[in-house]
Structure 1
Amino acid sequence: MRAMVYRGPCKVRVEQRPLPRIEHPNDAIVRVTHAAICGSDLHLYHGMMPDTRPGMTFGHEFIGVVESVGGSVQNLKVGDRVMVPFNVYCGTCYFCARGLYSNCHNVNPNATAVGGIYGYSHTCGGYDGGQAEFVRVPFADVGPSVIPDWMDPEDALLLTDALATGYFGAQLADIRQGETVIVFGAGPVGLYAARSSWFMGAGRVIVIDHLQYRLDKAETFAHAETYNFADYDDIIVHLKNITDNIGADRVIDAVGAEADGHFLQHVTATKLKLQGGSPVALNWAIDSVRKGGTVSVMGAYGPIFSAVKFGDAMNKGLTLNMNQCPVKRQWPRLFEHIRNGYFKPNDIVTHRIPLEHIADGYHIFSSKLDGCIKPIIVTDAG
């Protein structure tokens, strides 16, 4: 099969790889029809996440058709069109039993920190991802769901991470009726978080970024008030000025580990490559939220060696809510919103790229060329 293969920082290419095979009776093999490049894939692409090994196939956002199933699989059959959440999880451990699928204890040797994630380094279990023609899906009776007949395939693809994570970020913010919400980052997750904040009852939604075309999208897609931090000497002072000098009620960090390098790096952070980035956006969130407010974090962070303003968070009495999104837990309500026409997830898709050109897709997305917001990889015309 053809698959995207990582060969070192900023080096990916399509190679011929062995077809994945059933390794456990509860496995399925899925023929991928659509995948996506996620902003958090750029951390891997830039070599900024620990234990990202050459030869790995990325891709934690994918949908496809069931090609074969193991002997104990009961909920799927060959030919089913399925959407696969980015979480690899067992469904039975202490954490899965409580809906914390992203914290599954049985799928990753490093499970004290995180569960399993497709295509996201050996820190997250070493599972090959879906930027390929075929992918092995463990625990096939637990994670994948059959795509409803009424759902657009691209919308289903976006539900496997970006949309679910953005919605989860708004949930973590614990928004109450009429409150002011600031979202740092106008990438796909930030756009979805801003749009979802209205569903949670927000009275005002503000989005901060430095790329004007993404801010323009935040205005039209998320109906948000927007500010370009590059236009201000101190964006925190500006945010305080426009929030009655006390700060926002809730702030969502949808940047994570500054994958594109444009958020200002701490001096120490720029010297250290084995990390998920510097915490500039997180510190801005702590600074811009009011005392007693809530900061939501669902971005991809590796080890951070430069300082987080934890003392400020404590002294302000902040609540910090964070986790990797338990994707499937978000689906029932999101299915309702999509079917009722409240929003169309694929409105943010800007590029549709054949698998054989995935290296160009990474370059375009990483370098923010051609107004790229969300690139989709088409692996199979069917």
Structure 2
Amino acid sequence: MDINTSFSSSNTLLTQALNVNNEKKNIQNTQEIHTPEVQNPDLKVEFETQSFTSEFGFRTDEKGIFQKDLNHAANLPLSYEINIKSVQSIAKELMKQDENLSFSKIDLPQLLNTYYSALKAVEPEFAKNDNVYLNRGEVAGLYQGFSTKSGDFSSEITRLYKGENELNSALTHNQNLIPLNLENKIINFHFDSAINNTSQNDLIKPYLNKESEVSKSGLLMNFIHKDIKSANEEINFFIEPVNLNLNSHQNFYKMLQGEGSFENYVQEQNKERMSFDLYLYVNGVSKQNTQSDKLNLLYQQYLNYQKDLNIEEFTRSSSIYSLYTQALNAEFKQIKQEASTQSDQEQLNQINQTRQNSLENFYTQRQKQANLNKIVRSYMSVMS
């Protein structure tokens, strides 16, 4: 996607148009002069604030903080300070997904607005326009993420995770679901990585104060970076296309909503051959304590193991299979109970409407700015 650089240059275009006959039109706009108020009106002190161009189409100050035209273009609170180093880190992760992408082609305002719209819709703290610093306890108590109807980021939000405990419980259940070819795709805000082991997180450092509290703009940038990075690093022993992964999410939520029987699903998974999940159970493998690379190796072993197994006889007569299904049914019942407390429909309706309004406001503003740019360019062509 190409960045619309007209938004970063619109103010410059308008200034040039209005001052086309001004004697100062040849002064380079790399410096802005600010004249503060002083007690003696006869005494004026001028301070120079230098700005620098960036590969993203927006200017930064000497500290690497983007000027506020980026905030305007992305519909972010003007109090937010966005550091260019964090944007560069995000851009590098995006370029791993598309080898033809470059810094200059990234639509930075749209990227920021997409994530910010979701964040402020779900967590009321981000609906405020301030950029306060939050401590660990405050961050841990925020909403930590959400799930959607289809599993895709932009789909309708159907479930919320309030606080670290709810999120961690859902993530734990997810580890048990994936070997069964089910998944609860969670849009994780990754707040934990912004407040824990911050010495190992270079991206978050510019957003910390002396008390190691993190600003809300830092939480936003960390969310964007970790979400894209985790997608790049996601390794699943089921090598499947994205749409099939989304099917595993959708099938899971259909059963949560009573549109299918979980018990019947488990039986179907073990009808013609032993499921990988059952294979792990039979061999005493803990899904919680086994790393992905180890699971990959076990999956290859499983493919060879199940060729000579009479699964029908095993499921009919084995006490191990009976214990296995009992454990799964008990866990699914717990998951269903937890999900029922995280899906208040009235709250979800409001959240989805808020996010939609935010996205629409962004595109409306973008269209207005594009129309203004056309007028300015026409005016300049006439006056030149």
Q: TM-score range by the shorter chain?
A: under 0.3
Higher strand share: 1
TM-score normalised by the chain length of structure 1 = 0.23
The TM-score normalised by the length of structure 2 is 0.23
Structure with greater helix percent: 2
Structure number, greater radius of gyration: 2
